């Protein structure tokens, strides 16, 4: 399924490529699925080098914005494509660091940005998609046509990849229902809680997951990309202040180190 997604979205490349992983550096003590997923994604191209936004010190993770900034400047000089993969907050942290340093780079036109995961504990730093795309193009020379976004949940085995218009269409092997506070389905265009369904989960005896994401569903014909299945847009979290997730184990340490780690 994942391989099919990569192929259909033309994400596989034989080109030598450098990677900036906007997430955790792998270590034997870190068993989180997001770490393995990010590392596996670096094999979508011929990997030359990887630099990580969250550096493992042996006892904790520290924010490595200065490190990925220096790596990016080295990568630019090689003339090879660069792929960014991981959490969007760390991508924005890097862009802002470059802006504050007065740095603009011109990356290989086959460079690619692949973002997945939400803003969670960095909600105050969140920017909307048009702003993110504009910042990327202004600082890196990478426009929205070279940005791919993914949505998923640990409890739900389906990865939703965005279309050329950056919408998450529902694939044939899943269903999505938007529900109100009484858990009743709502019509297209009405925001509500995101309910994900699939029969393809085999590790646990459930096929329906009610998330804490706020989303809205639209008819596929409203998108214009040519995909006819309905699509959903994620609007944010459903009124939760302190969300603990699989990706949050190192975040409390990073809260303290976020500003100091980029200097």
Q: Where are the domains of the chain?
A: 2-152, 164-237
Residues 6+ apart with CB under 8 A from 201: 156, 157, 207
Using a 10 angstrom Cβ sphere, with 0-12 exposed, 13-18 middle and 19 or more buried, the burial of residue 25 is buried
pLDDT at residue 6, as a whole number: 66
Using a 10 angstrom Cβ sphere, with 0-12 exposed, 13-18 middle and 19 or more buried, the burial of residue 91 is buried
How much of the chain exceeds pLDDT 70, in percent? 87
For 185-196, what is the mean pLDDT?
Answer: 96
Average pLDDT over all residues of the chain: 86
- In CATH, the number for domain 164-237 is 2.30.38.10
Place 1 in a pLDDT band, splitting at 50, 70 and 90. low
| Pairing outcome for strands 82-86 and 112-116 | parallel
Instruction: Give CA–CA dist 18/251, Å, rounded.
Output: 26
pLDDT at residue 8, as a whole number: 66
For 173-199, what is the mean pLDDT?
Answer: 95
Range in 45-54, 153-162, 224-233, 249-258 with the lowest mean pLDDT? 249-258
Contact 142/109 with Cβ under 8 angstroms?
Answer: no
2-152 under CATH 3.40.1000, yes or no: no
Structure letter (DSSP) for residue 106? -
Using a 10 angstrom Cβ sphere, with 0-12 exposed, 13-18 middle and 19 or more buried, the burial of residue 68 is buried
DSSP-H helix ranges across the chain: 2-8, 33-41, 65-78, 88-100, 129-140, 251-257
- Dihedral sign (CA 202, 203, 206, 207): negative
Task: Please determine, for residue 100, whether its predicted confidence score (pLDDT) is greater than 80.
Answer: yes
Residues 6+ apart with CB under 8 A from 60: 250, 253
Instruction: Give CA–CA dist 224/45, Å, rounded.
Output: 30
Burial of 194-232, coded b for 16+ CB within 10 Å and e otherwise, reads bbbbbeebeeeeeeebebebbbbbeebeebeeebeebbb
Does the reported pTM lie above 0.75?
yes
Residues 6+ apart with CB under 8 A from 134: none
- How far is Cα of residue 203 from the mean position of the Cα atoms in its chain? 24
Task: Please determine, for residue 124, whether its predicted confidence score (pLDDT) is greater than 80.
Answer: no
Half-sphere exposure in the Cβ direction for 260 (13 Å, CA): 6
């Amino acid at each position: 399924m994942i391989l099919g997604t990569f192929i259909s979205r033309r994400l596989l490349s034989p080109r030598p490529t450098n990677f900036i992983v906007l997430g955790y550096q792998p270590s034997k003590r870190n068993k989180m699925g997001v770490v393995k997923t990010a590392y596996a994604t670096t094999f979508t191209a011929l990997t030359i080098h990887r630099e990580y936004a969250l550096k493992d010190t042996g006892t904790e993770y520290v924010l490595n914005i200065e490190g990925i900034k220096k790596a990016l400047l080295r990568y630019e000089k090689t003339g090879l494509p660069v792929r960014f993969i991981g959490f969007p907050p760390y991508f924005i942290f890097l862009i802002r660091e470059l802006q504050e340093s007065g740095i603009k780079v011109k990356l290989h036109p086959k460079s690619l940005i692949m973002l997945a995961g939400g803003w969670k504990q960095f909600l105050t730093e969140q920017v909307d998609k048009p702003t993110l795309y504009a910042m990327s193009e202004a600082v890196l020379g990478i426009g929205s046509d070279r940005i791919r976004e993914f949505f998923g949940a640990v409890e739900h085995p389906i990865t939703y990849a965005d279309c050329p218009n950056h919408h998450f269409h529902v694939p044939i092997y899943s269903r999505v229902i938007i529900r109100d506070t009484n858990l009743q389905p709502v019509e297209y265009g009405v925001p509500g809680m995101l309910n994900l369904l699939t029969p393809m989960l085999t590790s646990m005896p459930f096929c329906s997951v009610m998330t804490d994401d706020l989303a809205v569903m639209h008819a596929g014909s409203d998108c214009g990309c040519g995909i006819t299945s309905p699509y959903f847009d994620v609007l944010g979290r459903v009124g939760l202040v302190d969300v603990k997730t699989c990706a949050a184990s190192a975040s409390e340490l990073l809260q303290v180190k976020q500003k100091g780690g980029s200097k």
